[in-house]
Every structure is written in C-alpha cells, then in structure tokens.
A and B are shown apart, each in its own frame.
Chain A
Amino acid sequence: MYSDKEINNLIICPKMITKPPKKYLELKYGHLRNSFELSSETKKFYCYIRVCNDFQEDFSIGLIYQPNDAEKLTLVRYNGLHGEHTNPDKTKINTCHIHKASSKCIEENLKPEKYAYTVTNYATYLECLKIFCNDINIQDNINDYFKFHTQLSLL
C-alpha cells in the first residue's frame, strides 16, 4: 500500500539512467517504441515510450516502479490525444493528460493510475518526453540519449 506522499517521492526522487534507450524508436505491432531503465539509490524504475505509427498524436510515456518484493506500480503515464478519458469521479478529459497513481485508487482496488488530469504544456511526443524526463527528475543529460530536435519519423 502506498500513500500519495510515497508515490510523489517515487516520482520526483533523483534518478540515473542505468540502461539507456535505443538510439531509434523500433516499430512493432503498429506502434513505435523505446524503453530505458532508471535507478534511485536502491530503487529501480522502468520507462516506456509508445507512439502510434498511424496517429502520432496518440502516444504514451510511462514510469513504472519495480520493487523487489512487490508488484510493479505505474506511477505516471503521460498521454497524447487518444480520445476520451473518464475519471473515477466521472469527469471527462478529451485532451492530452497525465495518469497518476493515487492511494485512493489503490485502496479502492482500481487501476492505480486510473485518475488523470489535463495538461496543456505538450502536444507532441518529443515535447512530452522532455517534460516527462524533467518531471521524474532524471539527473543525466537527456540530450545525450534523445534527439529532441529530430522529427519523429527520423528517430
């Protein structure tokens, strides 16, 4: 069981890249993908990047916490435009949004990251990735790993 404070601490704790992403997004099953691993002291994390190949405004970038002795937990997932999202309180979102794990959802046996909130600070996958890396407090120079100036189709 995680408190909201613990979840927040896991999201913002300083992290180092332990297994870097591939240089290029790989196409599999109709989507472009990449992933990398992170650590913070003894804690381990996994990040995935997914972009729909047909609709590149539809993407997901997620941070998963991987404890040694418990099930993995999706802490946050940054989504592009994919259609409608409905929160447990029935509020609807039709824009870019961030799913975030909450103690309330965990307590109620819902998908931990079921709650999401609207964001307006990114519209593309690369903008989102830059913000995501900043938000989850990656200490490495992310420009060494991601070509933020490059068009998606060239990645």
Chain B
Amino acid sequence: MFKLDDLKEKFNNRIEFKEKRPGILQVYVPIYREDGDMYDIFIEKSQQNGLIKICDHGLNLMRLSYDYEIDTDKKEEVFHKILNQNQLIEDEGNIYIETDSENLYSAFMQYIQGVSKISSMQYFKKEVIRDMFYENLKDYIHETYEKYNVQDKYYPIEEKTEYEVDYLFDVKPYPVYVFAIKENIKAKNVAISCRQFLLENLNFKSVVVYENMESISKQDIKRVTSAVDKQFPSLQDFKDNSNPYFIKSIAA
C-alpha cells in the first residue's frame, strides 16, 4: 500500500507496521510516553489528495484529557500554536500531517515532535501559571487595592536603589510595602531590603506574597519571617485573606 522501506531503513528496522483496520497501518516504533505506552501513530492514504497521512485518530488528545483539558482560550491558543509550529492539522481531535513518500521520514519525525509537545501540555499549566505569577499579582493589586494609592517599584531610600519595594500602599499611619516572591534569591533580597529599611528607622509595614511558599528553602523563609510583618503563602491565599488584613492594619 505504501513504500515504507525508507522509513524502515532509517529506523534500522526497529519499526513495524500492523494493520489496524483495512487501509490503516498502526506504527510500532520504540518511542514511548512517560507512562511507558508507545505513541499512537497510524499511516493511511489521504482521502482528499492521495498523499500519505500520518495521524493518531484522536488518541493524543484522548490521553491528554486524563488529567488536562484544553478548555480555555489560552490553552486553545497554545495548542494551535504547537500545531502551527509543527505544521500539524487537527480535525475533530485527529492530529495529522500529510506528505509524499519522498518526505515520509522527515514528516514522521516532525509529527512525533509535534504530538510529544502536545502530550506535554499538562506541564505548561504549572509553568504558565508560574511565569504569570508577577503579572497576576500586579493585576490583582491594581484591581483591588487602588484605593490605597498603589505605586509600583518604590525605593524608600532614594540614594540606595538596590533596596526595592514591589508595591507601595501609600496609606496612614504607615505605608505598606508589598513584595512578591517566587524564588529563593528574591526571598533573600526581600529579607535584606526590609532589614535595611529597619536600620534606616523607616516606619512601614511589610507584606510578602509567595507564588508558592513551599518551593522556597527553609533558610530563606526564616530570613523573610524574621524581617517582615505578614506573609501570604500563595497568591490565592492573598486573594482570600489580604483584604481583612489590610482593613485592620491600615485602620490601626
């Protein structure tokens, strides 16, 4: 049905083709997912143009859906970006690429590369959220606490700009300095800055919001704890609990 000798040769004969349905060959190639299952790859003749169609009959998105859903505009955008960058097409869940027999090997490898990226989308979730932590905190602070005269990037000691505050709440009786932390190095810097502000006899209240407090080393948490007034272990905790805290501390 297809000239597959070239593909066999390039895979050093470590590839097999078994008939799944009439006209559909399942490819057995030693490329596995993290769970040990082989990638689902099928080769068939395209009904539209007679080219060779490398496809998955929806199985990659089925597998992805075990613990990840493409259910937001952002996820759709990432999904289609991966498809486009790898010249793949999706039709009702079936991810495919079409090629002629001359270019079968390169198309095959491109296909595997693309579907492996799609299969890894579950990991993007955490990375995207992590990357967007500072942005999300900034949006939340400006949307929720503009009444406290929020100022980004504030330097309490004018001549020492190495000691930086992420957000100033310019309120009475004391200003509130809000810091965002998602890495150990930032935790160290926040602790050092707050200690310096205390040495300069500045009056202020300090608040830290972690992306994920559990990801910060114990030593750095100790440093921050001894230097600041209030810590929120996550952005969600800040969203849930910061309003009553600010009402109480700003009114005090």
Please list the residues of chain A having a beta carbon within 8 angstroms of any beta carbon in chain B.
Answer: 28-31, 33, 48, 50, 52-55, 58, 60, 62, 64, 72, 74, 77, 79, 82-88, 99, 110-111, 113-116
Contacts and interface: CB of A to CB of B under 8 A. Distances in A.
B242 interface: no
A29 B35 contact: no
Closest 6 CB pairs of A and B: A30-B58, A30-B93, A29-B93, A31-B62, A29-B61, A54-B57
B36 A52 contact: no
Given A33-B65, A83-B28, A114-B36, 20 more contacts: A30-B57, A30-B58, A31-B65, A50-B66, A52-B57, A52-B62, A53-B58, A53-B93, A55-B20, A58-B40, A58-B59, A64-B67, A77-B35, A82-B40, A82-B59, A84-B28, A99-B35, A113-B35, A114-B34, A114-B35
B36 A29 contact: no
Contacts of A29: 58, 61-62, 65, 70, 92-93
Nearest to A46: B67
Given A48-B66, A62-B66, A77-B66, A31 B58 contact: yes
A33 B94 CA distance: 16
Contacts of A33: 65
B73 interface: no
A52 B21 CA distance: 14
Interface string B21-65: 100001010101011111010000000000000000111011101
Interface in B82-126: 92-94
A85 B38 contact: yes
A148 to B, nearest CB: 22
Contact of A74 (B37, B58, B61, B67): B67
Contacts of A60: 62-63, 66
A30 B38 contact: no
A86 B66 contact: no
B108 to A, nearest CB: 16
B188 to A, nearest CB: 27
Contacts of B70: 29
Nearest to A84: B38
A62 B62 CA distance: 12
A46 to B, nearest CB: 9
A111 B66 contact: no
A81 B66 CA distance: 17
Given A29-B92, A30-B57, A54-B57, A85 B66 contact: no
